[in-house]
Structure 1
Amino acid sequence: MARRRRPPRAGALHELQPLRTAAQIAVLQLLFYAIALVLIVFTSLVAGQPFGVDLLLGWESVRGDNTQGWLMAFVWLFDGALCMAVAIVILIARSKLVPDFALTIHFLHLVVVTLYTRSLPRHSMWWLTMFASSAAAVGLATWGCRYRELQPVFFGGRILGAGDGGASSAARASSPPPGSSTGHADLEAGHGPDGDDVTGYVHGGRGKGRGKDGQGDYEMVQMKTSS
């Protein structure tokens, strides 16, 4: 007899979505290069330097012995850290997935640079920039996703859970505390809580209404009769 296959666990198909994950990585990688392209073109025009594809896909321009190399390092750090952190918060919005996406973006950039130049990057400034960019992206995106997850959820024009809490808070605020002088005076006058005249007793003077035997000690007062 053929063995029956076990049905998938509820929600398993929603947890494992390789096509959606691949699409999100592709979108983030395109944003990574698009923002870098805009920043590199802008800085090249301002600095009066010629623009080339090597500035985008190469590693030789990121170096620590000249001003242009420091400027390119700052461009990649701004792109990979701040811009990618904002993109991950908007597109992913899950703090536990932030390290996977942030590190994947920088790893794919390493692969692209290696394939384009046909050699691994040999400048320590390039490696330092990529490590700092990936670490900053993980930290900023994790903080942003957690801040977004902790925001109140609005449903039907109000915050979920705020209606019951507000009503109970208002009820507690409107009712006098048990040991207040107003409530004690009403009980002595024969008025119960909320204007109830039936409850016509007060606690005795034995410390919070407790007698020696631990039971309540009460004395009757005159009750009002309706005319």
Structure 2
Amino acid sequence: MSGTFRSFVWDPLLLCSQMACMQGVFYTVSSSVILSSSFFGFTPSLATLFTATPSRIAVFAQLLSSLACAFALSHVVQRAKQCLDFTSTIHLFHLIAICLYTHSFPTTLTWWLLQISSVVLCTVLGEYLCMQIESREIKLVGVPSKYDL
């Protein structure tokens, strides 16, 4: 496959480590928001993170986590084509974690609307940021650009 631009090479270790990093960003930011809410009189708990009926703090934490994941996508994954895949996988693992924690499948409409809006926010912003990085001019060492003054 020589001569192809950005040819795809199957690398399961890279894929798993990227996914672990993205999942870590998601839960780190969510946990940080929930913990920092204790300064405002809220009692943080694991149930807030893995609830099927989201509270205001859980909604805020998840949406902020989606924003953080969008920025992380542009640095960890670096491909606009893969943003939806990674975002969907993050939220699929979150669904599995909630099912394991609560021993039930989430059925509330508000939880599903939160997940859909979180996926859309993370995917669209992540793709935008990745496209901005992908469209940057490639600097060659020693060759002046026509844009350099």
TM-score (norm 1): 0.59
- Give 4+ residue runs of structure 1 displaced > 6 Å after superposition: none
User: Which amino acid in the other structure matches residue 84 of structure 1?
Assistant: C
* Structure with more strand by fraction: 1
- Pick from 132, 138, 144: which aligns with 1:153? 138
Query: Retained in 2: the 8 A contact 1:95–1:146?
Result: yes
Q: Aligned to 1:122, what secondary structure does the other structure show? A: coil
- Pick from 44, 50, 56: which aligns with 1:57? 50
Q: Aligned to 2:29, what secondary structure does the other structure show? A: helix
Q: Distance in 2 between matches of 1:157 and 1:53?
A: 54
Matched residue, 1:36: 30
Greater relative contact order: 1 or 2 (C-alpha under 8 angstroms, separation 6 or more)? 2
User: Structure 1 pair 158/128, CA: closer, same or farther in 2 (3 Å)?
Assistant: farther
User: Which amino acid in the other structure matches residue 78 of structure 1?
Assistant: L
User: Which amino acid in the other structure matches residue 43 of structure 1?
Assistant: S
Q: Aligned to 1:154, what secondary structure does the other structure show? A: coil
Question: Which protein shows a greater Rg?
Answer: 1
Offset at residue 51 of structure 1 (A): 1.5
Q: Distance in 2 between matches of 1:38 and 1:99?
A: 25
- Size of the aligned set, in residue pairs, is 146
Matched residue, 2:62: 76
Query: Retained in 1: the 8 A contact 2:34–2:57?
Result: no
Write out aligned runs for 1:51-200 (5 A).
51-60=44-53, 62=54, 69-80=55-66, 82-156=67-141, 158=143, 162=145
User: Structure 1 pair 157/125, CA: closer, same or farther in 2 (3 Å)?
Assistant: farther
Offset at residue 123 of structure 1 (A): 2.1
User: Which amino acid in the other structure matches residue 73 of structure 1?
Assistant: V
Q: Distance in 1 between matches of 2:106 and 2:38?
A: 22
Q: Which blocks of at least 5 consecutive residues in structure 1 are unaligned?
A: 1-8, 63-68, 167-227
User: What CA RMSD, in Å, does the superposition of the two structures yield over aligned residues?
Assistant: 2.3
Matched residue, 2:12: 18
Q: Distance in 2 between matches of 1:157 and 1:33?
A: 43
User: Which amino acid in the other structure matches residue 45 of structure 2?
Assistant: G
